[in-house]
Structure 1
Amino acid sequence: MAQQKVKRLPDADVEAIFGAFAAAEPEPKGELDYVNPFTLLVAVVLSAQATDAGVNKATKLLFQLADTPKKMVALGPAEIEDKIKTIGLFRNKAKNVFALSQQLIERFDSKVPESREALETLPGVGRKTANVVLNIAFKQPTIAVDTHLFRVANRTGLAPGDNPLKVEQGLLKIVPDQYLLHAHHWLILHGRYICKARKPDCWRCIISEWCRFEPKTPAPKGS
């Protein structure tokens, strides 16, 4: 379904939307499994063009064997590849996981850095991945724009933009401070389960009264 071009919502509606999200789910959580900042970083790198459920299935054993950069390097590229072979693009991802583990050891004393600039120097880590890690591991108020969040921001009128960076910057300007830490989780989960790409479930959406998407999807017959 093509994105509709809509005008940005007024501040009062933005406040109402995030107030509704907060009331419904005060502490939203990401769906990737991890045990520390390093395994979170690896999981997010692996999640590109893959489902969280698929990544969790593959990393269950991987993280039992290698939950630190040193253990991951000791495992080696071939063994990493073998453990994640059910994930799309697994060969390239295995190379990146091995290489970023090496760089964490050599450049960051085996610790995941707490800045976007430093994170983006690691193999396989772009702005979205860095923002997820900063938000979840280090409680920084960043917004990671994936396809779900991009769709919701444009459909609703929260932060219309023709690329992820514009949407991210737009949201950072308009999301009230008290909601900023959890904003990207609320929007991603909303896009994943309610505001779906082909046919949004407007009839069970908690923010439909403020959303500018039209026409709203009616409830299925007999529901």
Structure 2
Amino acid sequence: MFGPEGPRLRELAVQALSSVERGYDLLAPKFDHTPFRTPDEVLESVARALAPLGPFADGLDLCCGTGAGVEALTGLCRRSVTGVDFSAGMLEVARRRVRPPAGGPGVAWVRGDARALPFVASFELVVSFGAFGHFLPRELPGLFAQVHSVLRPGGRFAFPVLAPPRPTRPGYWLLLGFDAVMRVRNALWRPPFVMYYRTFRLGDVLRELGHAGFEVELHPLPEFGRRDDGSPRARLVVARRGQPAAGSVNS
């Protein structure tokens, strides 16, 4: 599961007994050698799906980690790409490893909390990859309201979702077991480490996006095929902030 350059068991244990922020600061130098980093094929598939919806001037990678999503955005945005994350360690790695293409958009890194973003109507595109397990279901309304507020009218918030494994698959029990262990850990140890795989349910997400004022579309990601029932194995959620009505004042 982890290559020779990845973290040792002891390092993972120390991370798991830390806060989320401190844990990622510790993991940052080896994060790209773990399975937690979003695979390139997911990033490339999302970029292909978003390209026809552009052009985009300014983009934001929400919870950017070591910057893999920022690299994907540099091929979609003309003027600027910003990565925001609350882990100083992850941002430090991102600054070192991401090299914007010549003639491409400017890249900026901001340390901040996704639940209190330091921007106002600044972007045409916001993306996020693999970060939503760090937010409890009750936090989604506030999180989506924040994203809505940093998008310009007509801007889009996009993120991939994978179909959950069925109970007949080993992955189902692996994720169930992981979440159970994390719940026990958080009941017995402080500070909590919020990371759950089975709390970000598509139906709940679509409802909360609608409540936040988004118009939502689902785009299959064909590279990942379909399940036995014909449903896509992976989808791209694209939530669009509506244009203000004629005569209204945009806030």
More strand by share: 2
TM-score range, shorter chain: under 0.3
**Structure having greater relative contact order (Cα 8 Å, sep ≥ 6):** 1
Which TM-score applies when normalising by structure 2?
0.24
